[in-house]
Structure 1
C-alpha cells in the first residue's frame, strides 16, 4: 500500500536517511512529527558538482552531519556512509568472522549511538565508535576510511589518520573530473 514518507516512518525506532544532500531539507518535513526517541541516522555524503549543488558551508570546512542535523531540526547519528550500497548488501558477515568489516558510528547521544551500533552489528558489520558528531568529518568522502572496506582495527587507524585536507582534496578531484579540467 502506498504511503507518504511521514507515514512510513511514523512508528520507526530508527530512521536511516540516505538521500542526495539537496533532498535533506525536503525530508525534514516528513520527519517533523517523529517521536523524540526515534533515532535518525545520516548515511548521506555531500558530492558537490557531480550530484549535489555547491554548499559553501561544507566547502569551507563544515561537517556534513552537523549541516544535516540543522536542516532536519533534530540530532543525527552518522553511520553507513563509508560503504557502498553493493558492499553493504554483499559483504556482511556474522559476528566473529575473520573477514568481517567494520563501520564507523559517530554521534552525541550515547543511548542513540548504542542503538545504531547494535543496528550496524545486526547488519553484519563491526561498529566502531567514531566519536561525536563534530568528529564525523573523519568519515566524510575522501578520508582514509571512506569506501575502504576495513576491519575494526583498520577503521580505527583510518579515523585517526584522517585530516580535513583529505575531504578538500577529494572534492577538488571530483570537481576537476566533472568539469574536464586536468590541472
Structure 2
C-alpha cells in the first residue's frame, strides 16, 4: 500500500504516539493495516512536479525521491514506479526512519523546489 500522507497535526489532529516520536505516522498506518505492506512514497513532491521534474535515467539533473518501508519487496515496487515516472530512488527504510522526509526536515525542504 502506498502511503502518500504527511502527518500535519493542525489538519489531522494530535496523535500522542506520533507527537512524542514513539512512532511515525507510517508505522501507525502499518499497524492499522497489518496484512498490507506499507511503503511511504510520493510524500515530498507535488503532483504537477511529477511531470515537470521527470528526467530519463542517467540524466545528471534527474532527482531522487525517497521511499520507506519495512518490506524490501515494497521498496522494489516503488523503485520501479519511480523509475517509470523519471526519478531515481533513495531508500529511507525502515518505516521508523520515515520521519527524515517529513515536512520541515532537510530532505523535505530540499524538494520544495
| Interval of TM-score (by shorter of Structure 1 and Structure 2) | 0.7 to 0.9
Taking only aligned residues, the RMSD between alpha carbons, in angstroms, comes to 1.7
State the structure with more CA Rg.
1
> Which aligned segments of 4 or more residues in structure 1 are displaced greater than 4 angstroms?
none
Q: Contact (CA 8 Å) 2:37, 2:74: kept in 1 or not? A: no
Question: Does the C-alpha gap of structure 1 residues 118 and 147 become closer, same or farther in structure 2, counting only changes over 3 Å?
Answer: farther
Question: Aligned equivalents of 2:4 and 2:109: distance in 1?
Answer: 13
* TM-score between both structures, scaled by the size of structure 2: 0.86
Query: Which fold has the larger relative contact order, with Cα–Cα distance below 8 Å and residues 6 or more apart in sequence?
Result: 2
Which ranges in structure 1 are unaligned for 5 or more consecutive residues?
1-39, 151-183
Q: Contact (CA 8 Å) 2:18, 2:25: kept in 1 or not? A: yes
Question: What whole-Å deviation, never above 9, does each CA across 1:134-155 have from its counterpart, x for those lacking one?
Answer: 22121111111115239xxxxx
Which ranges in structure 2 are unaligned for 5 or more consecutive residues?
none
Q: SS of the counterpart of 1:112?
A: helix
Find the counterpart in structure 1 of residue 14 from structure 2: 54
Query: How many positions carry a matched residue from both structures?
Result: 110
